[in-house]
Structure 1
């Protein structure tokens, strides 16, 4: 079984390569819980199917990804975090927006069982 550090290193490497689906398939527990900030569009969802739907909805809102920067992971016990900074143009918006968030993941038995995102939600998408 992989340690939290090993999961974090490979998870972040896949994200940096844009291999989101591979990352989800390899590391997410079937009972994964995903928590967005209060007031955000999605709120909390649970399970792989709900995560896939959320990802599909998000990608459906984006007209263009301009930049994406992901930090190296920080690991403590069975948790790891990373920052994700991106510049995107959403559909129905003329100007690109900057998105900046901290992502925290909880690992149990080599699988991510919880993800939680910290950012300031945009009022027009809440």
Structure 2
């Protein structure tokens, strides 16, 4: 698969809220996930390996009470990289309603995502 094909598939699955399926289908077994520096060491911080990334996703989903809006932009592709903007308006357990917006950058090698990195303001 080309980087553009991987990017379009990721966007399609994420728009449907099927994040775990996207990870299972599109990520390399040794993929890494990088959060902003302030969040890197927390329970949903940086992760190495698909198993750890899936667990991080489960922890996030367990913290969500309700999703009010889930938007994912079309991808911007350059060689083995692509980025998307994501917007999630959700009610989080113990935190109330939260409006989250981030830029997500992905690196593709050998038809699989080998790295994801998220950029957002920590409030």
Q: TM-score, normalised by structure 2?
A: 0.92
Structure 2 residue 12 is the aligned partner of structure 1 residue 10: no
Q: CA deviation at 1:93?
A: 2.7
Q: Deviations over 1:80-124 (max 9, x none)?
A: 000001111111134x111000000000010000000000123xx
| 2:36 counterpart residue number | 37
Match of 2:100 in 1: 99
TM-score normalized with structure 1 length: 0.90
- Which structure: larger Rg? 1
In structure 2, C-alpha distance between the alignment counterparts of 1:76 and 1:7, rounded to whole Å? 12
Over the residues paired in the alignment, what is the CA RMSD in angstroms?
A: 1.1
Q: What 5-or-longer segments of structure 2 have no aligned partner?
A: none
**Distance in 2 between residues matched to 1:111 and 1:4, nearest whole Å:** 8
Residue number in structure 2 paired with 1:66: 68
Task: Structure 1 unaligned segments of length 5 or more: list them.
Answer: none
* Equivalent residue number for residue 75 of structure 1: 77
Deviation at 1:39, TM superposition (A): 0.8
